[in-house]
Amino acid sequence: MKNTTLLNAYESNPINLKWMNGFPPENDKIVSAADGTFFDFPALRYSVNHMREFYPTRNVPASKHSLYHHKVKLDDKIDEVKFIPWDSPSAITWKESLDKNYTDGIIIVHKDKIVYEKYFAGLTQQGLHSAMSVSKSFTGLLASILIAEREIEPCKLVTDYLPELKKTGFAEATVQQVLDMTTAIQYSEDYTDPKAEIWDFSEAGNPFRPEKYKGPKNYYEYLQTVKKEHGNEHGKLFGYKTINTEVMGWIISRVTGKCITELLSQKIWIPLGTTYDAYYQVDPSGKAFAGGGLNLNLRDMALFGMMILNKGKINDTQIIPEKAAIEISKGGSKEAFEKSKEYPKLTNWSYHNMWWITNNANGAFMARGVHGQAIYIDPTAQMVIVRFASHPLSSNKLLDPLSIPAYQAIASYLISKEN
């Protein structure tokens, strides 16, 4: 079901296209994970809100008692905030940017109050949506918590925790190098290259593999096949590679004896007072996809972002160690990030503990996922922006020229209101 026509946000609205509608749906309205059609655009716009229909999953139980009650004070002027995208000579408004980004849901929090909240394309305030690689930052935070609690030592070798990887490209890499994605492993995440290793990794986690498949049976088995990149050293160069997050997820589970679904629930989701159970997609062995399988509610994600902004606190209650919340915003090696040349437009950025650090004047940092998922935290503006989207283009390299200046414009607007 490959669609070569790039429909706009209105034309691709899944409500209008009626995916999976009817009892049974018409044949041309059925999408499936078995044949991959569920992730083709525009069907993707339906699937991101319904991942549980396509994959086996494991729950992340939410709080059942002291639910957090969001304070809301909407600001109608936000829609008219203007900014100039990096790749355009002309300014556009925040409202106009939402359709251009194929936004499914967006919340702006300022000083712990929701000042903007909109939903599109079938997502509702009660709904859950795929967070894609925002999942990595949740894994990074869990690791940061365990480091703060001295359960994990970042300077130790990966193989001190996972001896299964002694004969792989992860040998001699430290836990911190995994967290900062500076491992020198032979692995490409170029979705446009049919020979990139990302496809082998994905197949290892695919519950719908053909019977003739003879490769690794799950993500952990795949990690044991990874080789080191010839001529490169660990710690020298940033390389955005999802399998680093899978290694970190495995270390976390090995140290705690718990799946990350259980640990996220116990360490964050329940203490935070979230309203909705989240869930992870799992591989054929039932292991959670740490690098991209988290699905959650937008308001709960906003609450999570508020907790990070407030150094681990909500309503003066310390949810996670303050040290863990502060650590993720410190930033990694700007030199390693720049030398990689992976993100040339992200000047002066770095990557640390699986979070993206802007190193801008406001000290902003963020979690990012393909197709437009984001948690953007600006300490100076006391602002959190959370966004779910279903853009037809996957790479943030293509979405950043519109997204990043939009976030910065809202931060500037909120700061200006206080002056």
Contact 251, 39 (CB under 8 A): no
Contact 92, 82 (CB under 8 A): yes
| pLDDT confidence of residue 1 | 42
Identity at 348, one-letter amino acid code? N
| pLDDT confidence of residue 380 | 98
Q: Give residue-wise pLDDT tens across range 230-278.
A: 989 999 999 999 999 999 999 999 999 999 999 999 999 999 999 999 9
Q: Which two tokens stand for residue 23?
A: 């009892």
Q: What average pLDDT score do residues 296-309 get?
A: 98
| pLDDT confidence of residue 191 | 82
Residue in 362, 363, 364, 359 with CA at minimum distance from that of residue 374: 364
| pLDDT confidence of residue 265 | 98
Q: Give residue-wise pLDDT tens across range 137-168.
A: 999 999 999 999 999 999 999 999 999 999 99
| pLDDT confidence of residue 31 | 96
E strands in 111-165: 113-119, 128-130
CA distance 411 to 138: 24
- Share the mean pLDDT of the chain: 96
Identity at 105, one-letter amino acid code? G
Residue in 276, 288, 256, 280 with CA at minimum distance from that of residue 61: 276
Q: Which residues contact 221 (CB under 8 A, 6 or more apart)?
A: 204
Share in percent of the chain as helix, strand, coil (round to 5): 35, 15, 45
Contact 273, 68 (CB under 8 A): yes
Identity at 154, one-letter amino acid code? P
Residue in 361, 228, 222, 356 with CA at minimum distance from that of residue 283: 222
| pLDDT confidence of residue 419 | 75
DSSP-derived secondary structure letter, 81: -
Q: Give residue-wise pLDDT tens across range 374-395.
A: 999 999 999 999 999 999 999 9
Model's pTM, two decimal places?
A: 0.97
Q: Verify cis geometry, omega within 30 degrees of 0, for the bond prior to 42.
A: yes
pLDDT tier, 3 (very low <50, low <70, confident <90, very high otherwise): very low
CA distance 275 to 215: 40
